[in-house]
Amino acid sequence: MCGIVGYCGPKRVLPVILEGLKRLEYRGYDSAGVVYLEDGKLVKHRSKGKLSNLEAIIDDAIITPSHIGLGHTRWATHGAPTTENAHPHSDCTGDIVVVHNGIIENYHSLREELKAKGHTFTSETDTEVLAHLIEDNLENDLVEAVKKAVALLDGSFAIGVLWAGMPDTLIAVRNQSPLVLGVSAASGTFLASDIPALLPYTNEVIFLNDMEMAVLTSESQDIFSLVDGKTIEKKIETIKWNAAMAEKAGYKHFMLKEIYEQPQAITNTVSGRINPETGEVNLPELNLSASDLENIDRIIFVACGTSLHSALVAKYWIEKYAHIPVEVDIASEFRYRHLLINERVLTVSLSQSGETADTLAGMRIAKGLGSKVITICNVVGSTMTREADGTIYTHAGPEIGVASTKAFTSQLAALFLLTLFLAEQRNTLSGEERLKLGKDLIDIAGVIEKEIPRLQEEIGTLIESYYDARDFLFIGRGLNFPIALEGALKLKEISYIHAEGYASGELKHGPIALIDKDMPVLALVPQDDVYQKSISNVEEIRARQGRIILIGTEGDAHLSNITEDVIYLPKVADVMNPILYTIPAQLLSYEIASRRGCDVDQPRNLAKSVTVE
């Protein structure tokens, strides 16, 4: 996720901004830039890669007496991580600069309109349209111009704006992307996308809400609503966190923060790609022609670990709704077996990092055999996205915890979009059915958002009877079988408890021999089309004195006759259960690992990106 820092005040601006950007490094980024005003002119420096690269090119400039400027660390979403795409971005005159976090969903049409009016673009980013939109609307009042420009944007944005024509003022706007102001009578006014950037200078902050605009000078912070134009009196709050706590926004671990970020990550992945009125799916980066799509007679997913589990869910979705046979392959096996692949096979690689060695090798082999290859990936410009014929980006933002959480549920969201897209192309669902399914997908983020805090509290209590287990089984059927696998993987990787996931119906073919009072079994039993079968499997465990945790549907009173440890989830469309049921599985693993004092974010022997075979 990108980082914004802004400053106006008595201090020299560059050291303040660079220090702030360093404190936002934990958010992940792939390029960085700064801009400041000197002698009435905006001076901009940008660089790809780490902040040290940027520092190296501005070595001499650091002594600038400038007292106003903006800085940015960019996590690429539109356009590769290059210097040209790094922020700040300018208008045609070079007198207006903007920094931006989030995604401007309608940037493409805005860009085309602006180009037709004669604006020249120098980057591939969605952000640059904003600088030109402000230019287009600027007479002599920057505040009015920013207001008009922002009104044209769809999507999420936190922005900072500086104009050479108003040398003492910064403008900030927030909509669905965080932005906080720092205030200090002695040191001036600060702007940042997260609190750690402010802490060296002040712990007095003002949080902006969605659709609020702040007009900032060294001594003043005027805030008003972009909805009704009214001035808003904001409370100044005092932050008591230390720097480490602040990086995690007060959460104990990045993993927990990322679990809580899932509704936003899913929304970012879905929004702008599905028309809520028609259910139509738009995946322009997929790069597949109508004839490519017509030719496909099989899809093969290639992935590792958690990404493999999301592919297993997609197999159920695509076969049911798009009627295309799907195979799911473990990348390390795929690359060494005799592959029956040709140009009628669509290969889809799935990867959070886009760099996993086995998955990459699998993609290359499939391509060599004539298959079209697309990738579903969270990192713009990663090797997989460069080598694939097309990409669907998940917009989860950088994931810091080694255990994948928000990247997984965002992959599920992207895979469901792909399912709807294929169903549309192949005409396997009616418009009405697609519209209903699209709505189910759009709505799931809101459901999760509401449930996470309650689930964390309940699960935090429940694990007191389970955190010292030596082994664990996770079971589920149908769409929830892959979630059982994912739950078991999560638990073993962060708590070091031995855990296995099984299809519930497989239990009696071997694993049931393990059941006794020391083997807790977590069963996913939503009231779906295989509910009765799932309950029979749970009864088999109960008959053998197994300890059972059930995760099921709110109002299902039968579950509490089976065990006292029941976690209830709201009834959602069956098809969305894999996304919803993942959340308690993640939280159970998290709470157990945290209770056992494990290094949750960096479990032993694991790496975030597995670039070796």
Among 142, 402, 444, 567, binds ligand M6R (CB under 6 A): 402
Among 85, 202, 385, 404, binds ligand M6R (CB under 6 A): 404
Q: Is 360 in the site for ligand M6R (CB under 6 A)?
A: no
End-to-end CA distance of the chain: 28
Q: What is the DSSP string of 21-72?
A: HHTTGGG--SEEEEEEEETTEEEEEEEES-HHHHHHHTTTGGG----EEEEE
Q: Which stretch binds ligand M6R (CB under 6 A): 68-76, 261-269, 283-291, 397-405?
A: 397-405
Q: Is 385 in the site for ligand M6R (CB under 6 A)?
A: no
Q: Which is the catalytic residue, given 2, 8, 304, 377?
A: 2
Q: How far is CA 477 from CA 524, 558, 577, in A?
A: 8, 18, 11
Which two structure tokens, joined as six digits, stand for 370?
């004539």
Q: Is 123 in the site for ligand M6R (CB under 6 A)?
A: no
Q: Is 409 in the site for ligand M6R (CB under 6 A)?
A: no
The nearer residue to ligand M6R, 206 or 255, going by C-beta atoms, is 255
Annotate each residue in 297-336 with x if it binds ligand M6R (CB under 6 A) or - if it does not, as one string. -------xxxx-----------------------------
Q: Let me know: does 613 contact 357? Beta carbons within 8 Å.
A: yes
The nearer residue to ligand M6R, 212 or 261, going by C-beta atoms, is 261
Shortest spacing between CB 384 and ligand M6R, in angstroms: 8
Which residues have a Cβ under 8 Å from the Cβ of 91 and sit 6 or more positions away?
119, 131, 132, 134, 135
Least Cα distance to 379 among 99, 81, 155 occurs for: 81
Which two structure tokens, joined as six digits, stand for 230?
């009214």
Q: Let me know: does 93 contact 138? Beta carbons within 8 Å.
A: no
Q: Is 2 marked active-site? A: yes
The nearer residue to ligand M6R, 64 or 352, going by C-beta atoms, is 352
List, in sequence order, every beta strand (DSSP E) within 164-259. Answer: 170-175, 180-184, 188-192, 204-207, 212-216, 221-225, 237-238
The nearer residue to ligand M6R, 45 or 406, going by C-beta atoms, is 406
Among 73, 356, 577, 594, binds ligand M6R (CB under 6 A): 356
CA gap 231, 224 in Å, rounded: 4
Q: How far is CA 53 from CA 24, 36, 45, 224, 457, in A?
A: 16, 18, 11, 37, 44
The nearer residue to ligand M6R, 241 or 496, going by C-beta atoms, is 496
Q: Which is the catalytic residue, given 11, 367, 571, 608?
A: 608
Q: Let me know: does 526 contact 552? Beta carbons within 8 Å.
A: yes
Query: Residues 290-314, buried b or exposed e (16+ Cβ, 10 A)?
Result: eebbeebebbbbbbbbbbbbbbbbb
Q: Is 352 in the site for ligand M6R (CB under 6 A)?
A: yes
Q: Is 304 marked active-site? A: no
Q: Is 487 in the site for ligand M6R (CB under 6 A)?
A: no
CA gap 471, 499 in Å, rounded: 6
Ramachandran assignment for 545, one of left (phi > 0), alpha (psi -120 to 50 degrees), beta (any other): left
Q: Is 527 in the site for ligand M6R (CB under 6 A)?
A: no
Q: Is 92 in the site for ligand M6R (CB under 6 A)?
A: no
The nearer residue to ligand M6R, 208 or 400, going by C-beta atoms, is 400
The nearer residue to ligand M6R, 385 or 404, going by C-beta atoms, is 404
Q: Which stretch binds ligand M6R (CB under 6 A): 7-15, 166-174, 196-204, 400-408?
A: 400-408
Shortest spacing between CB 376 and ligand M6R, in angstroms: 10
Which two structure tokens, joined as six digits, stand for 188?
């001036």
Shortest spacing between CB 323 and ligand M6R, in angstroms: 28
Binding site for ligand M6R (CB under 6 A): 304-307, 351-353, 356, 359, 402-404, 493, 606, 609-610
* Residues assigned a catalytic role: 2, 608
